[in-house]
């Protein structure tokens, strides 16, 4: 239909597609420069133990402060990096900078476990494992201090199982990210060498209003525990969500309620107790289903 309609329909759709393509090209050009000049920065968001509220580690989330466009979300530039073959350089920079930071914290007397996100294309790279080993050695870090987060949809791909096996062979931990946004395939989950499952906030945003949402999350946590996985609720924003998730025996929380992603220097203050803390109260037990 678009073809027969000819010029007029092109006039409607073509410019925005052009603009999008142009924007992508511009972003990939700027991103290339940003990676070379080390203009990216890792922010860290705390994960806390559900019962005590104590920090258990932090997730490294890459930030790009573009000279003219301001802060650009990784949800925008990671796909650009993947499309234009920049993810390898970006990804190795992230892994190495996270390791450098863990070492800096160790030298300050802070044992911080750090989680790093890995995309599909990174998992496919032959030199991934050697590069990780090299970074661990260079910064003299025990592998157990490092976790890699892989989204559920990537982890379930047939051909990633071997890569995940090789990764866990290094001694690092694996975590399944964004669980509940794809297939929620517990049978397949059994085969993965993961220790942690992160349930996506979309599953519990309305958990205080929806009995269905509560039942689904309840079942998920029980299944995960039956498989020996620890459960992290990611994107906890309200005390009510926190209380309900705690009543469902969720193990750890991560979300704006506790702390937003922040520069490394702020995270160390936070971890040393000088930042904001949100001690858990036990009203939660009232909601025990």
Calculate the alpha carbon distances from 111 to 55, 191, 192 in Å. Answer: 11, 30, 27
Q: Does 149 bind Mg ion (CB under 5 A)?
A: yes
Partner whose footprint covers residue 57, from Mg ion, ligand C2E, none (CB < 5 to 8 Å by kind):
none
Q: Which residues contact 63 (CB under 8 A, 6 or more apart)?
A: 40, 41, 42, 43, 71, 74, 261
Partner whose footprint covers residue 245, from ligand C2E, Mg ion, none (CB < 5 to 8 Å by kind):
none
**Burial class (CB within 10 angstroms; exposed 0-12, middle 13-18, buried 19+) of 53:** middle
Rounded least distance, CB 151 to ligand C2E, Å: 7
Q: Does 117 bind Mg ion (CB under 5 A)?
A: yes
Main-chain dihedrals φ then ψ at residue 274, nearest 5 degrees: -90, -10
Total site size for Mg ion, rule CB under 5 A: 5
| Region binding Mg ion by CB under 5 A among candidate stretches 12-20, 136-144, 147-155, 243-251 | 147-155
How far is 31 from 266, CA to CA, in rounded Å?
A: 26
Partner whose footprint covers residue 119, from Mg ion, ligand C2E, none (CB < 5 to 8 Å by kind):
ligand C2E
Partner whose footprint covers residue 62, from ligand C2E, Mg ion, none (CB < 5 to 8 Å by kind):
ligand C2E
Residues 230-259 that bind Mg ion (CB under 5 A): 234
How far is 158 from 174, CA to CA, in rounded Å?
A: 17
Binding track, positions 162-181, relative to Mg ion; x by CB under 5 A: ---------------xx---
Q: Which residues bind Mg ion (CB under 5 A)?
A: 117, 149, 177-178, 234
């Amino acid at each position: 239909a678009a073809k027969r309609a000819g010029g007029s329909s092109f006039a409607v759709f073509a410019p925005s597609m052009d603009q999008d393509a142009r924007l992508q090209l511009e972003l990939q050009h700027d991103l290339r420069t940003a990676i070379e000049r080390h203009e990216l920065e890792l922010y860290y968001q705390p994960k806390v133990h559900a019962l005590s509220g104590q920090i258990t580690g932090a997730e490294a989330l890459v930030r790009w402060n573009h000279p003219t466009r301001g802060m650009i979300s990784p949800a925008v530039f990671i796909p650009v990096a993947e499309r234009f073959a920049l993810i390898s350089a970006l990804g190795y920079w992230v892994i190495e900078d996270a390791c450098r930071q863990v070492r800096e914290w160790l030298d300050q007397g802070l044992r911080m476990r750090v989680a790093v996100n890995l995309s599909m294309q990174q998992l496919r790279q032959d030199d991934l494992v050697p590069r990780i080993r090299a970074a661990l050695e260079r910064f003299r870090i025990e592998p157990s201090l490092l976790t890699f987060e892989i989204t559920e949809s990537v982890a379930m791909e047939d051909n990633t199982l071997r890569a995940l096996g090789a990764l866990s062979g290094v001694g690092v931990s694996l975590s399944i990210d964004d669980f509940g946004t794809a297939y929620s395939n517990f049978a397949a989950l059994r085969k993965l060498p993961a220790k942690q499952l992160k349930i996506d906030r979309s599953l519990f945003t309305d958990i205080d209003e929806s009995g269905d949402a509560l039942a689904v999350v309840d079942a998920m946590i029980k299944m995960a525990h039956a498989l020996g996985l620890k459960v992290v609720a990611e994107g906890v924003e309200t005390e009510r969500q926190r209380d309900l998730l705690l009543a469902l025996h969720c193990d750890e929380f991560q979300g704006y309620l506790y702390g937003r992603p922040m520069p490394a220097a702020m995270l160390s203050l936070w971890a040393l107790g000088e930042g904001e803390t949100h001690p858990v109260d036990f009203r939660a037990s009232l909601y025990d289903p």
